[in-house]
Amino acid sequence: MTADTVVGTGLVRHGGRKFSDYLIFNTDHKVIGIQYLVLAFVFFLFGGALAGLIRAQLATPDAQLLTGSSYNVTLTLHGTVMIFLWIIPAFVGAANYVVPLMIGANDMAFPRLNAVSFWLLVPGGLLMLVSFAVGGAESGWTAYPPLSVTTPIGQTLWALALQFIGFSSIFGAINFLVTIFNLRAPGMGLTQMPLLAWAVAATSIIILLGTPVLSGALLMLILQRWLGAQFFTPAGGGNPLLWQNLFWFYSHPAVYIMILPGFGIISEVLPIFARKPIFGYKLIAFSSMAIAVFGFLVWAHHMFTSGMDPFLRVPFMVTSMIIAVPTGVKIFSWLATIWAGKLRFTTSMMFGLAFISMFVIGGLSGIFLASVPIDIHVQDTYFVVAHLHYVLFGGSVMSIFAGLYLWFPKITGRMLDERLGRLHFWLTFMGFNLTFFPQHLAGLQGMPRRVYTYPPELWALNLLSSIGAFLMAIAVLPFLYNALRSLVAGKVAGPNPWRAFGLEWTVSSPPPVHNFPTPPVVEGDPYGYGERPLPGTTGVAAPAPGMAGGE
Partner 1 sequence: MSDTTPHLTMQQSAPSATGLDSAKLGMWLFLATEVMLFSAMIAGFLDMRGRSPADAHHVLNIPVTAVNTFVLICSSLTVALSVAAIEQGDQKRLRNFLLLTLLFGGTFLSVQIYEYNVLIGSGELTPWNSLFGAGFFAVTGLHGFHVFIGLIWCVLTIIWTSQGKFSAQNFMRVEIFGLYWHFVDVVWIILFVLIYLV
Nearest to 347 by CA among 260, 298, 417, 281: 417
| CA dihedral sign of residues 37, 38, 44, 47 | negative
Residue 287 CA: distances (Å) to CA of 208, 218, 317, 322, 502: 19, 31, 20, 12, 22
Residue 112 binds partner 1 (CB under 8 A) = yes
Please report, as residue ranges, which positions from 464 to 523 form the binding site for partner 1 (by CB under 8 A): 514
Q: How far is the CB of 303 from partner 1 (least distance, A)?
A: 15
Cβ proximity to partner 1, 246 vs 386, nearer residue: 246
Q: How big is the chain by its Cα radius of gyration, in Å?
A: 23
Q: How far is the CB of 12 from partner 1 (least distance, A)?
A: 7
C-alpha 71/C-alpha 448 separation (Å) is 14
Is 28 strand, coil or helix? coil
Cβ–Cβ under 8 Å, residues 550 and 345: yes
H or E element at residue 273: helix 260-274
Q: Is 426 exposed, middle or buried (0-12, 13-18, 19+ CB in 10 A)?
A: middle
CA–CA separation, 287 vs 298, rounded Å? 16
Please, which residue, 224 or 346, has the CB nearer to partner 1?
224
Paired sense of beta strands 12-13 and 25-26, if any: parallel
Q: Which of residues 243-262 bind partner 1 (CB under 8 A)?
A: 245-246, 249
> Measured from the CB of residue 237, what is the shortest distance to partner 1 in angstroms?
5
Shortest reach from residue 179's CB to partner 1, in Å: 8
Q: Is 297 in the site for partner 1 (CB under 8 A)?
A: no
DSSP, res 25: E
Tell me which of 21, 107, 418, 525 binds partner 1, using CB under 8 A.
107
Which residue, 35, 39, 73, is CA-closest to 53? 73
Range 2-61, binding partner 1 (CB under 8 A): 7-8, 12, 14, 27-28
Binding mask 173-212 for partner 1 (x = CB under 8 A): xxx-xx--xxxx-x-x-------------------xxxxx
Q: What angle do CA 112, 194, 551 make, to 5 degrees?
A: 130
Cβ closest to partner 1, residue 99 vs residue 415: 99
Q: Please, which residue, 203 or 327, has the CB nearer to partner 1?
A: 203
Return the residues of window 409-448 that contact partner 1 according to CB under 8 A: none
The least distance separating partner 1 from the CB of residue 540, rounded to whole angstroms, comes to 29
| Binding footprint of partner 1, residue count (CB under 8 A) | 52
* Strands (DSSP E) found in 458-519: none
Q: How far is the CB of 543 from partner 1 (least distance, A)?
A: 33
H or E stretch including 256?
helix 240-257
Residue nearer to partner 1 on the CB measure, 187 or 550: 187
Q: Which stretch binds partner 1 (CB under 8 A): 62-70, 110-118, 419-427, 456-464?
A: 110-118
Q: Which is nearer to partner 1, 200 or 349 (CB)?
A: 200
Q: Which is nearer to partner 1, 6 or 374 (CB)?
A: 6
Q: Closer to partner 1 by CB, 187 or 456: give it.
A: 187
String marking each residue 207-246 x if it binds partner 1 according to CB under 8 A? -xxxxxx-xxx-xx--xx--xxxxx----xxxx--x--xx
What minimum distance in Å lies between the beta carbon of 547 and partner 1?
34
Select 208 or 297, whichever has its Cβ closest to partner 1.
208
Q: Which is nearer to partner 1, 215 or 453 (CB)?
A: 215
How does 135-155 read in b/e, with b if 16+ C-beta sit within 10 Å? bbbbbbbbbbbbebbebeebb
Q: 10 Å Cβ neighbour count for 180?
A: 24
| Nearest distance, CB of residue 230 and partner 1, angstroms | 6
> Phi/psi of residue 13, each to 5°?
-135, 165
Q: How far is the C-alpha of 184 from the C-alpha of 112, rounded, in Å?
A: 19
* CB closer to partner 1, 1 vs 489: 1
HSE (CB half, 13 Å, CA atoms) of 367? 12
- Contact positions with partner 1 (CB under 8 A) in 356-375: none
Peptide bond into 111 cis (omega under 30): no
Could you list the residues that contact partner 1 (CB under 8 A)? 1, 7-8, 12, 14, 27-28, 107, 109-113, 170, 173-175, 177-178, 181-184, 186, 188, 208-213, 215-217, 219-220, 223-224, 227-231, 236-239, 242, 245-246, 249, 514
